[in-house]
Amino acid sequence: MQLQSAIVDAGGTVVGTETKTVAPVQFATSRTADHYVSLPLGTLAPGDYLLKVEATMDTRVAGRVMRFVVRP
């Protein structure tokens, strides 16, 4: 399974991406797996952002979006 994370600024510009592969052995018996995203907070300008995480396995795609704010 592929996990793609993207940080999008308030103007809709993608300012960071990360792609990881999750192997079948990383899944627990409950069909879950941990995924950690390192946010480059030191390089992001103050403002509103979206963190988008999308999982792709074969033709199936699932995703989540979370809003966060970087303050000066």
Tell me: the pLDDT tens digits for 5-61? 999 999 999 999 999 998 888 888 877 888 888 899 899 999 999 999 999 989 999
pLDDT value at position 53? 95
| Buried-state track 48-70, b at ≥16 Cβ within 10 A, e below 16 | ebebbbebeeeeeeeeeeeeeee
pLDDT value at position 35? 83
Beta-bridge mates of residue 4: 19, 54
Whole-model pTM? 0.84
pLDDT value at position 67? 97
